[in-house]
Structure 1
Amino acid sequence: MSQVISFVVLFLFVSCSVSPVFSSANNDLRQANQTFRPHEELQKLKILMKINKPSVKTIQSPDGDLIECVPAHQQPAFDHPQLKGQKPVDPPERPKGHNPKGTLSDVYQLWHMSGEACPEGTVPIRRTTESDLLRAGSFEKFGRKFTKPVQRDSTSGGHEHAVGYVTGEEYYGAKASINVWAPKVASQYEFSLSQMWVISGSFGDDLNTIEAGWQVSPELYGDNYPRFFTYWTSDAYQATGCYNLLCSGFVQTNNRIAIGAAISPTSDYNGGQFDISILVWKDPKHGNWWLEFGSGVLVGYWPSFLFTHLRDHAGMIQYGGEVVNSRTSGFHTPTQMGSGYFAGEGFGKASYFRNLQVVDWDNNLVPSSNLRVLADNPNCYDIQGGTNTAWGTYFYYGGPGRNSKCP
Structure 2
Amino acid sequence: MDMALAVFPSSKSKLRKTQTRSLGETRQHKCGQKHTGKRSFINMNFSLCLRSPIASLLVHFLFVFSTLCSVHSSQFGDHHLVANQTFRPKEELRKLNAIRNRLQRINKPPVKTIQSPDGDIIDCVVSHMQHAFDHPLLKGQKPLDPPERPRGHNQMDDGDLSENFQLWSFSGESCPEGTIPIRRTTEQDMLRATSVRRFGRKKIINRVRRDTSGNGHEHAIGYVTGDQYYGSKASINVWAPLVENPYEFSLSQMWVISGSFGDDLNTIEAGWQVSPELYGDSYPRFFTYWTTDAYQATGCYNLLCSGFVQTNSKIAIGAAISPTSSYSGGQFDISLLIWKDPKHGNWWLEFGSGILVGYWPSFLFTHLGDHASMIQFGGEIVNSGSSGSHTSTQMGSGHFAEEGFAKASYFRNMQVVDWDNNLIPLSNLKVLADHPNCYDIQGGVNNAWGNYFYYGGPGRNVKCP
Question: Shorter-chain TM-score: what band?
Answer: over 0.9
The residue type paired with residue 117 of structure 1 is S
Q: For the residues of structure 1 that align with 2:252 and 2:423, how far apart are their CA atoms?
A: 21
> Higher Cα Rg: structure 1 or 2?
2
The answer as to whether partners of 1:103 and 1:296 remain within 8 angstroms in 2 is no
Match status 1:378 vs 2:436:
yes
User: Cα deviation per residue 1:157-190 (whole Å; 9 max; x = unaligned)?
Assistant: 1110000000000000000000000000001110
Match status 1:29 vs 2:78:
yes
What TM-score results when the alignment is normalised by the length of structure 2? 0.81
Give the SS at the match of 1:46. helix
The answer as to whether partners of 2:76 and 2:186 remain within 8 angstroms in 1 is no
| Partner residue of 2:312 out of 245, 248, 254 | 254
Structure 1: which 5+ runs fail to align?
1-14
Distance of aligned partners of 1:128 and 1:143 in 2 relative to their CA distance in 1, 3 Å threshold = same
The answer as to whether partners of 1:270 and 1:348 remain within 8 angstroms in 2 is yes
What TM-score results when the alignment is normalised by the length of structure 1? 0.93
Aligned-pair identity in percent equals 73
| Partner residue of 1:392 out of 417, 432, 450 | 450
Q: For the residues of structure 1 that align with 2:446 and 2:73, how far apart are their CA atoms?
A: 55
| Partner residue of 1:194 out of 232, 252, 256 | 252
Distance of aligned partners of 1:281 and 1:156 in 2 relative to their CA distance in 1, 3 Å threshold = farther
Distance of aligned partners of 1:235 and 1:179 in 2 relative to their CA distance in 1, 3 Å threshold = same
Give the SS at the match of 1:211. strand
Matches within 5 A, 1:3-402: 15=15, 24-26=73-75, 28-33=77-82, 34-35=87-88, 36-98=91-153, 105-148=162-205, 153=211, 155=213, 157-402=215-460
Q: For the residues of structure 1 that align with 2:249 and 2:77, how far apart are their CA atoms?
A: 25
Distance of aligned partners of 1:329 and 1:128 in 2 relative to their CA distance in 1, 3 Å threshold = same
Distance of aligned partners of 1:152 and 1:391 in 2 relative to their CA distance in 1, 3 Å threshold = farther
Q: For the residues of structure 2 that align with 1:385 and 1:151, how far apart are their CA atoms?
A: 24
Q: For the residues of structure 1 that align with 2:180 and 2:163, how far apart are their CA atoms?
A: 18
Give the SS at the match of 2:170. helix
Distance of aligned partners of 1:156 and 1:371 in 2 relative to their CA distance in 1, 3 Å threshold = farther
User: Cα deviation per residue 1:262-293 (whole Å; 9 max; x = unaligned)?
Assistant: 00000000000000000000000000000011
The answer as to whether partners of 2:163 and 2:315 remain within 8 angstroms in 1 is no
State the shift of 1:384 in Å: 0.3
Distance of aligned partners of 1:196 and 1:132 in 2 relative to their CA distance in 1, 3 Å threshold = same
**What is the count of residue pairs matched by the alignment?**
393
State the shift of 1:354 in Å: 0.2
Give the SS at the match of 2:374. strand
Q: For the residues of structure 1 that align with 2:209 and 2:422, how far apart are their CA atoms?
A: 27
State the shift of 1:135 in Å: 0.2
Distance of aligned partners of 1:156 and 1:179 in 2 relative to their CA distance in 1, 3 Å threshold = farther
User: Cα deviation per residue 1:217-250 (whole Å; 9 max; x = unaligned)?
Assistant: 0000000000000000000001000000000000
The residue type paired with residue 190 of structure 1 is E
Q: For the residues of structure 1 that align with 2:95 and 2:369, how far apart are their CA atoms?
A: 37
User: Cα deviation per residue 1:119-170 (whole Å; 9 max; x = unaligned)?
Assistant: 0000100000000000002112311111538977553611100000000000
Q: For the residues of structure 2 that align with 1:185 and 1:355, how far apart are their CA atoms?
A: 27
The answer as to whether partners of 1:151 and 1:203 remain within 8 angstroms in 2 is no
State the shift of 1:294 in Å: 1.9
The residue type paired with residue 131 of structure 2 is P
The answer as to whether partners of 1:159 and 1:323 remain within 8 angstroms in 2 is yes
Q: For the residues of structure 1 that align with 2:411 and 2:287, how far apart are their CA atoms?
A: 17
The residue type paired with residue 129 of structure 2 is Q
C-alpha RMSD over aligned residues? 2.0
Q: For the residues of structure 1 that align with 2:209 and 2:260, how far apart are their CA atoms?
A: 10
State the shift of 1:118 in Å: 0.3
Q: For the residues of structure 2 that align with 1:263 and 1:364, how far apart are their CA atoms?
A: 30
Give the SS at the match of 1:347. coil
Give the SS at the match of 1:184. coil
Give the SS at the match of 1:69. strand
Structure 2: which 5+ runs fail to align?
1-14, 21-68
